[in-house]
Copies of this chain bind each other. A is one copy, B any other.
Amino acid sequence: MAGLNDGTSTAQRREISSATADTLRLAMLPGIGPRTLSLLLECFGDPASVLAAPDHQLASVHGVGPKVIQSIRSADDLVDVRSIVNWCARERVDIVCDDHESYPRLLADLPDAPPILFVHGDAVAEDEIAVAIVGTRHATTYGLKQAEHLAYSLARAGVTVISGMARGIDAAAHEGAMAGGGRTIAVLGSGHGEIYPSEHEGLSKAIAAHGAVISEYPPYAKPRAGMFPQRNRIIAGLSLATLVIEAPDRSGALITARIAMEQNREVLAVPGPVTSRASRGCNQLIRDGAKLVQTVDDILEELGPMRAPVQTTDGSEIRNVAELQLNELERKVLDAIESESTPIDRVIETCELPAQRVIAIISVLEMRRLIRRLSGQYVSRI
């Protein structure tokens, strides 16, 4: 997965292909959601063929009625592709289709993955090691401090922090991650030209410089109430786990938690006093099975193995989030152990460390479920 901001390729991407133009035309059409579009593409092969298909063939697709057909027929009038592309080029926003190598792999797993993302900033391979931090706009000092502190600690551990750039918990999470010198991604519930709340325009720029600001909506899309729950599926979908910090009953953060569960991602929550309304949703989530989080280690322990190894910018390969907690020597020993049965003697030789030391570290790695002991003399990666 390449970075989105590497000079020439970015410029090329801003000069979009006709396939991307057609995807854009379809994805931005009112009345066509990601699921319907995905069915249409499955049926007709590519965006151009969808746009060219006769009415009766379109009508045979599940969920496609006269209104959608009317939309598709008027696509050229309804979606001004040229103006979107120009706006994005001017504002340095990349247009990323779901078949592009920089499209987030975790997000692509979803049945309702957005066909197009508008990305301001960089998306990098390590962003696959990500945790969403969400919560109420009306946070208490306790919640704000926890959001900032846990985001800071996740960032220090090398985990990207995803959130929604709302007031309260969201903003504190983004700020904590940046203070920790790490990466953070904001997912908007509006277009890039309609940052909401408007006082977060400065925050938006800072986030783009320390990660990315992402939207599935065209630049001019104004924020509407219905778009935020939609947006929440992307926040959860970009993340291995969703952590709720403070949420009263019926908070939007609880919708994100429910979506994360439906996506088979981990749901975590910070407990709070039962006397605090702002903690009621979190306590309820924990009661219903969400993992209780007291420290950053509680989060890292829950993340476990990656679906596929992630190449980090420093050249190492992360297979399991627990690796982020390792110190230098532990990392060295782990690197000397292969997926296949590896003799402990060879590990000692490779590491050039005292045998006793290596054996102690092997026990630590075993406890963290990064390796398994095959017999007294052999170990392998899990």
Contacts and interface: CB of A to CB of B under 8 A. Distances in A.
A40 interface: no
A129 B271 CA distance: 29
A146 B274 contact: yes
A286 B298 CA distance: 13
Interface of A: 142, 145-146, 270-275, 279-280, 283-284, 286-287, 291-295, 298
A145 B273 CA distance: 11
B280 A287 contact: no
25 contacts: A142-B275, A145-B275, A146-B274, A146-B275, A270-B274, A271-B272, A271-B273, A271-B274, A271-B279, A271-B283, A271-B286, A271-B292, A272-B272, A273-B273, A274-B293, A274-B295, A280-B294, A283-B292, A283-B294, A284-B294, A286-B286, A287-B292, A287-B294, A287-B298, A292-B292
Contacts of A286: 271, 286, 292
Nearest to A293: B274
A342 to B, nearest CB: 34
A146 B274 CA distance: 9
Nearest to A292: B287
B273 A142 contact: yes
Would you list the 7 A-B pairs with minimal beta carbon distance, nearest first? A271-B271, A287-B292, A274-B294, A286-B292, A283-B294, A271-B283, A142-B273
A291 B284 CA distance: 11
Nearest to A142: B273
Nearest to A272: B273
Contacts of A294: 274, 280, 283-284, 287
Nearest to A145: B275
A270 B292 CA distance: 13
A24 B283 CA distance: 48
Q: Among A287, A291, A298, which residue has the most Cβ atoms of chain B within 10 A?
A: A287
A293 B286 CA distance: 10
A271 B294 CA distance: 11
Given A271-B286, A284-B294, 4 more contacts: A142-B275, A272-B272, A286-B292, A287-B294
Q: Which residue among A271, A280, A295, A298 has the maximum number of chain B CB atoms within 10 Å of its CB?
A: A271
A273 to B, nearest CB: 6
Contacts of A146: 274-275
A286 to B, nearest CB: 5
B298 A291 contact: no
A275 B145 CA distance: 10
